Structure 1
Amino acid sequence: MSHSPIRKDKTCLNCRHVVEQKFCPNCGQENTDSRKTFHHLFIHFFEDLTHYENAFWKTIKNLLFKPSTLTKEYLSGKRLSYLAPVRLYIFISFITFLLIAMFPSHVTENLTKSEKEITSNFEKANTKEHKKWNEKSYLQSKTIDKSYFKLDSMKEIDSIQKYGKPKEKFTDFEYWIYEKAVHVTENNTKAEIIEKFIESFIHNIPKILFIIMPFFAFFLWIFHNKKKWYYFDHGIFTLHYFSFLLLIFLILFIVNKTIGAISPIAFVADIINFVGIIWMCYYFYPAHHRFYGESRFVSFVKSVILFFINSFFILLLLIFYVLYIFLNLH
């Protein structure tokens, strides 16, 4: 709590409401002197940091090992002792994708390594006898194998659209999709397509999760008593559950990049991965059972049904998103 002197002026600086005591009854702002010494600034920073740290570790502990506890505490009104659900999700999401961006995936590393090897081999092959062959080989390595994608040129497609039979012609939407696909494959190698796709996918995962969460909460709303549970309640449960999934993913990612990179103890990372994935898959059931208070059998049945419904919906969304990323590569 701040120890700054209380202002003599009883008018709140934030909302202009009359403040009889230390805190404004209208907006909650502390009616203290806004000009602070370095001492007050340091003390205020230390108090906020200590409170945040205590709340943070308490929140993480409950999130990992006590399914639904955070949701029940939050909805019961005990909110100052924990991080707010939205802030928690944003914080974990930020840290997770920051670390992912800092450490390239094995696919990207291999692609980069292959490109460097091709370039190095091409530069070394400078003899007259092999120069022409290596030049042709290098150009082939940088060109898309059209047979792999099985795409006709736009000239062929335009010819079919103009002179072909009605059954052979594309609709306007199909033609647009095909034109985009041909443009991507003509201007990018296979390696470039994969690398750009991975990079775009990683950077946009938060957007995908934000899109999925309202639907996840909606499915929970459908399967539970509408009078007892509001959509808001399901939303808080969803935020905590997705925060847990992201946190487990973050922990496993760190384990793989640290312990997994050391050969003699790499098996430890495999064990942690196995335990983490099992806990990730199982977590929803006890969280659902404890939060909604239904019998174990009913909760198990609903958990299984919700798992398959959400898995199908997520898969469908990812398919559309993959197509979107592919068609928007440059």
Structure 2
Amino acid sequence: MSLPHSAENESTALTAAESASSTEEESHNNALTEKSCENCHQVVTGDFCSNCGQSLDSTLKYFWVVILHLLDDIFSFDSRASRTLFPLIFRPGFLTNEYFSGRRVHYVPPIRLYLFISIVFFLTLKLTVSSEEKHTMELKNNKAAIAQVTEHIEKLDEKRLAVLTQKESTELTRINADLLRFNDYLKDLSLDISIADNNKLVKATRQLVTLELERVKIEAGDKSDAITIGNNQDGSLSFDFLSAESNKKLNDFGNELGEKAEKTFSTDTNRLVTEVLGKLPQLMFVLLPLFALLLKLVFIFSKRLYMEHLTVALHSHSFIFVSLLSIDLIDVTHDYFEEIGSDIALYTASALGGIGFIWLLWIPIYLFVMQKRVYKQGYIMALLTYSFVGTIYFILMALTTVVAIVWGLTSI
């Protein structure tokens, strides 16, 4: 049955109206979704500008948002980190070979992995070492101060006997006063420093003793125990290739550094430890490309690019930091259970000590196996190159530590 002509026209009009309305709505929605690029001001319909390639996602965000995104990317169980940590620790060379083969999407990139692990490692190390070293250094400094005071008292007793034979009343009065004062120092230093109030008194006494002994040394003209940084017989620091003015500045810097070192080592070495741990992350970041350059020179016939050697350096250092961090946490837990003293606690502490020792042995074994697998060497050649690279790296680390100590002393 056909519709009347008027009804057919009405239906057509309604369809056209609906189509126009739908087109308008679609245009409106497109206008809302379209954005302009902040760089070239072109209209962008997706997440990236088709003209210049810039992302529409702004990098200027709240800091806590960035941290949450980073933590989610690294620690989410459905992220690449869950597939990265296990082979990093237990499968030497696997991550590096996967990266070289182009299978990278499933794993955390080497540079991001290193940066995050190094930050966590050095922060944790700074907290644990500082808390442990503070008590250890206090004990060592206290023992050293007691030994110094005892030695000085013995010298004063000898002087007193000599003055008694000479019947010098003025000198005898001064020596007796010194003996009384240093015996009081010795009594204060012998207090139990585990008690908070006594700890303050012992620390103040130790500082006072240091000043007193320095005064005695100055009056006696004794500089035998002074720390000097020099390469000449008179203790001065100079080099032939430098001008006289440059040598003078260098010598002044060496004397200043020696004074700071002497003061630090005789009073509060914990501050120096904290400063050194604060400098090491930056220095290690400089050491990484140098280590990669060393690998490039040693394995020059492997035809690998420098960036490949840098990847080896990043993965190996990430493994070392994770291992040392784990060993440090195991050591802290071991000490905690030892302090409890019960049979179960002592058994747990013993087990943790064994795990820590095995993990420590695993580090050089892991690095050797990693080198062998990545550079595809035989056992003899791998052992030779591993020994050579290890020796050079040990020297580089020693120099890095020296630079960190000197840098730390200049910051005190």
Q: Which residue of 1 aligns with 2:298?
A: 223
Q: Is the aligned partner of 1:80 residue 2:80?
A: no
TM-score (norm 1): 0.72
How far did residue 168 of structure 1 move?
4.0
How far did residue 329 of structure 1 move?
5.5
Q: Is the aligned partner of 1:108 residue 2:134?
A: yes
1:99 to 95, 108, 124: 124
Give the paired residue count: 290
Bigger relative contact order (CA 8 A; separation at least 6): 1
TM-score (norm 2): 0.59
2:373 to 262, 281, 290: 290
Distance 2:376 2:311 in 1: 16
Q: Deviations over 1:139-175 (max 9, x none)?
A: 7622436689834699xxxxxxxxxxx9747342334
Alignment of 1:29-68 (within 5 A): 29=55, 49=72, 53=76, 54-68=79-93
Q: Secondary structure at the match of 2:300?
A: coil
Q: Is the aligned partner of 1:273 residue 2:356?
A: yes
How far did residue 59 of structure 1 move?
0.9
1:22/1:30 contact within 8 Å kept: yes
1:197/1:325 contact within 8 Å kept: yes
Q: Deviations over 1:190-248 (max 9, x none)?
A: 241x2112111222221231122111101100012367211111111101110100000
Distance 2:121 2:235 in 1: 46
Change (3 A) 1:15 1:52: farther
Identity of aligned residues (%): 20
1:111/1:191 contact within 8 Å kept: no
Q: Is the aligned partner of 1:214 residue 2:289?
A: yes
Amino acid at match of 2:369: P
Distance 1:214 1:50 in 2: 26
Q: Secondary structure at the match of 1:150?
A: coil
Alignment of 1:1-330 (within 5 A): 8-9=33-34, 12=37, 27=53, 29=55, 49=72, 53=76, 54-103=79-128, 104-112=130-138, 132=181, 136-137=185-186, 141-142=206-207, 143-144=209-210, 150-151=224-225, 168=234, 170=236, 171=238, 172=248, 173-185=250-262, 188=264, 190-192=266-268, 194-225=269-300, 228-263=303-338, 264=346, 265-326=348-409, 328=410, 330=412
Distance 2:140 2:260 in 1: 24
Distance 1:14 1:75 in 2: 35
2:113/2:318 contact within 8 Å kept: yes
Q: Which residue of 1 aligns with 2:243?
A: none
Amino acid at match of 1:79: R
Distance 1:91 1:10 in 2: 35
How far did residue 30 of structure 1 move?
7.2
Distance 2:336 2:274 in 1: 22
Distance 1:106 1:22 in 2: 51
Q: Secondary structure at the match of 1:197?
A: helix
2:92/2:366 contact within 8 Å kept: yes
1:71/1:237 contact within 8 Å kept: yes
Gaps of 5+ in 1: 32-44, 119-129, 155-165
How far did residue 182 of structure 1 move?
2.4
Q: Deviations over 1:255-284 (max 9, x none)?
A: 111234202122122211211111111111
CA RMSD of aligned residues (A): 4.0
1:89/1:242 contact within 8 Å kept: yes
Distance 1:59 1:153 in 2: 48
Distance 2:395 2:74 in 1: 41
